[in-house]
Structure formats: C-alpha cells, structure tokens
Chains A and B, each alone.
Chain A
Amino acid sequence: MRDSIQRRLITTMVLFQSLLTIGLVLVGVSDTFWRLLSTLDTSMQAHAMSVAALVRYTEDATGNVYFDNTLLPSSIDPNHPDLFAVWADRSGLIAHSENWPKELEIPSGPDHHWNFDWNNVPYHALRATHVPILDREEGKAFRPQTLTIFYAAPTIRLRMQVRRAGAFIALAGLLLLGITVLLALRGIRRDLRPLQNLAQQAERVSAQNWELRLPEEVSQVEELRPVAQSMKQMLERLQRSFEQQRQFLGNAAHELKTPVAVLKSTLQSLVQRERTSEEYRAGIEGGLEDLERLEQLLQWMLRLARAEQWAHGALRRDLDVIDINATCEEAIERMRSLAQSRKTSIRLSTNGPVPFRADPEDLQLVWANLLENAVRYSPEGSTVEVAVMRNHGGPAQVTFQDHGPGIPPQDLPHIFARFYRGDRSRTRATGGFGLGLAIAKALVEAYGGTIAAESQVGRGTRMTVELPVSSRN
C-alpha cells in the first residue's frame, strides 16, 4: 500500500482523539457516578433519619416502642420503592417496608454502605446503628432504646444517569473528532496544494522547456522552498549537460557529413558507368580510405565521450602511482617520426620525478595530443620544449612551448571546444577533427587538473597542464 502523509496525519489524529475521548468518558462517568452516589447517600441518610423519627415510645412505662407509619417518607426514586427496616435493641424488628425481603442478608458490624441486587434490581444500602429514638419523653423511668436502621434505594436511575452522562461525553467527543478530521482534511489539502502545484509545474518541464515556474505559494511555504530550490538547481544542471550532449551530437553529425559525402560520391561515381577492373579496384581502395577516415573520426569521438564521462565522476579509482616524466617520454617517442618528418626536435626538461596516480595511457594521450599540435605548427628546424615541473606544495606543471605562428586572439578562447578549428587546413591530419584538444582537456579535468593556453602571434604557443599532486601520491 502506498504511504500518504495525509493518511498518516489523519490516522494519528483519530487515534489520539479517540484515546482522549475514551479517557474523558472514563473520567466523566466515574465523576458523575461518585457525585450521584454521594447525593444518594445523603438522601438515604435523611430518609433513614425520617424513618427513625417515626419510632415512638408507647404511652405506658414499659419502654416499648411502636412505629407510626402514617408519615412514611416517599421513595427516593418514585418508580422504584425504597427498602427499609427498623430494629429496636430490645423490641426487635419494629417496622419494615412492604417489599422488604426478610431473607436479605444484612451484614453486621459498624455502620456502612454497600450494594446488592435484589430481584434483578440494583440497590445501594446503608445500615445505621445506635440511632437514638427522637420521641423521648422526659421523666419516664425506663431505659431508652436505640435503633438499627437498614435503608436501601434502587440505583437504577443513578446508573441510567451515569450511562447518559457517559454517552453524552462520548457523543460530544465523537462529534468533535469528526469536526477535527474534516477541518484537518481541508487544512492538509490546502497546505498540500502548493506541493501539487509544484508537481504540475514540474510536469511541464521537458527537453524543450526547461523552465520550472515556481508558484508564488511554493516560495511562501518554508518546508517547500528548499525542495523547489534543489529542483531548480537540478534542472539547471540537467539542462547544461543535456545542452552539452545535444551540441556534441549536432557537432558529431555535422562532422560525419563530410566523410560520408566523400564515401558516397566515391561509390556513386564508381557505378555511374561500366568501368575497367583497374578502375573498380582504385575506386574500392578509395572507398576504403574514406571509410578509414570515418572510422578514425568515430574513434576520436568515442574517446572524447569517454573522457568527458570520466570528467563527470566516473574515473576509475584503482590506479597505480606512475611518474609523469615517464608518460611524457613515451608520448615524445610516439611523436618522434612526425617530428622527424617535419624536421623539428622535441626537448624534455624536468626537475625530478613527479609521482601521480593515473592510468599512464590517459596521460600519454594528453601529452601526445598537445605535442602533435605543437609539432605540426612548428617551423622547420625549431624545437618544441616540454618541461615537467614539480612544485612543492603546489600542483605539478607540464608545459609545451612551440615557436610556431601562434593562435590568433579571437581563436584562443575556443581552441578547447569540440570540433573547433581555427583554420581548416589542418583537417586532414590525425586529430585534425578538432577533437584533440577537447579530449586533452576532458582527460586533464577528469584527473582534477587544469589546462590553459597562452599564445603570441608570430612567437609561438605555450600549453600549460597543472595536475594536483597530493601528498598521498
């Protein structure tokens, strides 16, 4: 079952209020009961005394008594007659109510109150002893008698009253509970409406429409503000990476068009008419070359995509510590033949080993990309200078300095962008897809480093890579 804040709140409230009502009923019932009982006691006592007052001495001097039943008090509950009996200590049972059951067991001992049932009627009873006879004529020469009085009143009415009181409190409690639940439901619905509005607004967000309009009421609810804020920020992040991906896809599709056009035209011109087998062979070989270029471009794009994925936190952590110098030497070795063909030399200088935790392939790729650019742009007979510097307490620096024509200032801010080429003339070379520097940047950033370019037109370009060499390395 799905959980719901509303349901939970209401359940808690109902449970709590039910317990409260039960408690109130209990307290109310017992209070009413004791209050009514004490009233009943008082009336019974008064009635008992009235009964006692009806006991008279006879006119003679025997000291006998009689009961004057002409003035019997009425029953406390008119519908259910009271029970009473009066004993005098010498004369014995003097009088009793008509309905008094003789077999009723009256506990002996001191005065007290008790309850009993008789003929399915509940009674409350009292017994009073040593009650003096009020009719005491002075000067009579006999020993006065005292009375024992039993008086019982049915508690049917009392019980009914208590039940009624209990029912009233319970009813009031239930009514209150109902009202509270209704009000709470409305209140919760009203309080949750900003949440629903927020959800509606969130539903409108799509790849075409990134804007999350925050309803006024949302920003007014303290609990919702952080949720809305993080939603907004999440959307911004998503939009950025989405835009990046879309741009990459657009660039990639655009870049793929030319090699595809070449391949298509090669095959089409091959089938335009009957050709000799030499022509077919040459055509197919040309097509294969075109395909190879296409494949190369795809490989570079995938490499970039992978590097950029790492840059977003997916970099492998199980890496060994390597020496940056070694990776530089390896990259220089890779570029050796290119440098020789362009009659340029590469010089490496260093101030000692720089340990760094990385995949050596990644670093070699970075250095090779930077070196290739430097070598390609270097005039014949010049030297590309590579310097690896370990700074105590700071990041390690690797610089590539060439003495080529430099990069025009208007191109400089864009050189690390994917598929950016200041000049198309270098397209044909490997990495000339405008991806080499983008890959280098993505890789360096994946390792928490930075890459920057400075250039003076006519003087040359210097690429600086900084890598965070921590003490743990």
Chain B
Amino acid sequence: MRVLIVEDEPRLAENIARTLRETAGYAVDVAADGQEGLFLAESNAYDAILLDLMLPKLDGMQVLKRIRESGQHTPVLVLTARDDKESVVALLNAGADDYLTKPFDLGELLARAKALIRRGKGQPSPVLNIGDLQLNTVDRTVQRAGRPITLTAMEYRVLEYLAHRPRAVVSKTELLEHLYDYNWEKFSNVIEVYISGLRRKLDAGSQQPLIRTLRGQGYVLQG
C-alpha cells in the first residue's frame, strides 16, 4: 500500500510516515505544502491520503476539493486541529472520508488509515479470505488451509495488495506504484522475485496455485 502525507510540520509528517512504514509496511510519500501535495496526489496512485488542513501555499480544503474535482476516489483522512461541528461537516461535504483531530494517537491514525484503505477497495473486514487463504491485516499474518505461512515484509506487502483486489488483474506497474514511494522505477525487476517467493511458500503442499500470471498483463490472486 502507498500513502501520501500532506503535512507542513516536518516532524509530525516524519513520525506518521515512520509509523506507517514500520508497523503497516506501507510506502509513504510526504508533501510539505498544499501545492506539492496536490501535484503528488494527481500524479501518483495512492491507496490513501492523509491531509493536514492548515497548509502553506494551498490550504488543505482546496487540495481536497481539487482532488475530488479531478475524479479521484482515493480515500482521504483529514488531520485537523478544529473539531467543531461546522468544520467537520464542511470537511466531509468537501469529500473527506474521515478526520482525526490533533493531537491524535498514532495507533488510531494507523487503524483509521487501514480501514479507509480496506473500504476503498471494497473489503470491509480486516481479515481477508480468498479461497483457503486467510490474510489478517491487523497482525499481518497469513494462513493457507489453517497452516501458518511466514513471509518476508516485502512478500507480505505484495500479497496484501493482491488480496485487497482478489480476482482482478494487477499489473506489475500497479504493484510497483502501490508498494514503493516515488522512486519506484528502480525496483521494477524485483516484483518477479517476490511473486515467485510467494508462490513457493503459499502453494507448498497444495494442488491449486493461488497466484496466476497473465502474460503481458499481470497477476491474479484467485482461490
């Protein structure tokens, strides 16, 4: 998963980014002002955007409106110091999916971000079941037919993304875009390595392969 943080307090942005990377294994981009945030949001595919409201150059409300005007469905979690009814209503009406008031708890932020990403992909439950594969996004564990499977961090991230979009064809580029931050091109040929690692671990002792490769198109996770 890849998340954009638009926040002008550098240390706050850094702390959020660190939490998302370390505890959720997400790829994170940080923008320090509204203009940069809008540019990144429009030029990359994010699974969620965390948006501060008080921003230099272009304030958060404007960023939010412009993102929605451009037709993007990316879930937006707004970070605000104001929690009065009017501003919350204005936020939600402008297209925000959720909000958190400062000072917030990083654990809560993470939980809300995960929930937003799940719902954005049509998956209401934090435990994803594809055939006999079970993926728990809360404690990041994987089982197949009741057998626990140990994955590397990168393998888990690839599988998690695929599991959020079961039966859909996911291209290598899409995977790269959603698993790495802005300099993802460097990693273009490592995806195959992770996919083969995943196949080996998931299909061990099983007749049916979980991940299929559609040549020239991408990968499909199917039970």
Contact = CB atoms under 8 A, between A and B. Distances in A.
Nearest to A283: B15
Given A265-B106, A273-B22, A290 B11 contact: yes
A278 B12 CA distance: 20
Contacts of B134: none
A424 B103 contact: no
A286 interface: yes
Contact of A269 (B19, B55, B57): B19
A326 B105 CA distance: 50
B148 interface: no
B177 interface: no
A261 B54 contact: no
Nearest to B104: A261
A246 interface: no
Contacts of B23: 272-273
Contact residues of A: prevailing secondary structure: helix
B68 to A, nearest CB: 22
B60 to A, nearest CB: 10
A265 B82 CA distance: 18
20 contacts: A254-B81, A258-B9, A258-B54, A258-B102, A261-B81, A262-B9, A262-B12, A264-B103, A265-B11, A265-B104, A266-B11, A268-B106, A268-B107, A269-B22, A272-B106, A423-B57, A424-B54, A425-B8, A425-B33, A427-B8
Contacts of B15: 262, 265-266, 268-269
A325 to B, nearest CB: 37
Residue from A257, A286, A289, A427 whose CB has the most chain B CB atoms within 10 Å = A257
Nearest to B11: A262
Contacts of B196: none
Contacts of A290: 11
Residue from A265, A423, A427 whose CB has the most chain B CB atoms within 10 Å = A265
A260 interface: yes
Contacts of A266: 11, 15
A133 B82 CA distance: 128
Interface string A265-306: 110110011000000000000100110000000000000000
B81 A258 contact: yes
Given A262-B11, A269-B18, A424-B55, A254 B82 contact: yes
A257 B56 contact: no
A423 B58 CA distance: 9
B16 interface: yes
A272 B11 contact: no
Interface of B: 8-9, 11-12, 15-16, 18-19, 22-23, 33, 54-57, 59, 79, 81-82, 101-107
Contacts of B82: 254
B81 to A, nearest CB: 4
Contacts of A254: 81-82
Nearest to B9: A262
A257 B19 contact: no
Contacts of A261: 9, 12, 79, 81, 102-104
B161 to A, nearest CB: 23
A268 B56 contact: no
Interface in A162-178: none
A257 B103 contact: yes
Contacts of A265: 11-12, 15-16, 19, 103-104, 106
B145 to A, nearest CB: 31
Contacts of A262: 9, 11-12, 15
A260 B106 contact: no
B33 A257 contact: no
Contacts of A260: 102-103
A273 B82 CA distance: 30
A425 B56 contact: yes
Contacts of B11: 262, 265-266, 286, 289-290
B19 A272 contact: yes
The 9 closest A-B pairs by CB, nearest first: A425-B56, A261-B103, A265-B15, A261-B102, A257-B81, A268-B106, A260-B103, A257-B102, A269-B15
Nearest to A426: B56
Given A254-B82, A261-B81, A264-B103, 11 more contacts: A258-B12, A258-B81, A261-B9, A262-B12, A265-B19, A265-B106, A266-B15, A268-B19, A269-B106, A273-B22, A423-B57
A318 B54 CA distance: 44
Residue from A255, A263, A425 whose CB has the most chain B CB atoms within 10 Å = A425
Interface in A218-250: none
A262 B81 CA distance: 12
Contacts of A255: 81
A268 B9 CA distance: 16
B203 to A, nearest CB: 32
A423 B56 CA distance: 6
Nearest to B17: A269
Nearest to B102: A261
A268 B105 contact: yes
B55 to A, nearest CB: 6
A266 B18 CA distance: 10
A265 B19 CA distance: 9
A289 B9 CA distance: 12
A424 B58 CA distance: 9
B31 to A, nearest CB: 13
Contacts of B19: 265, 268-269, 272
Contacts of B59: 424
A276 B38 CA distance: 36
A257 B12 CA distance: 12
Contacts of B101: 257
A268 B110 CA distance: 12
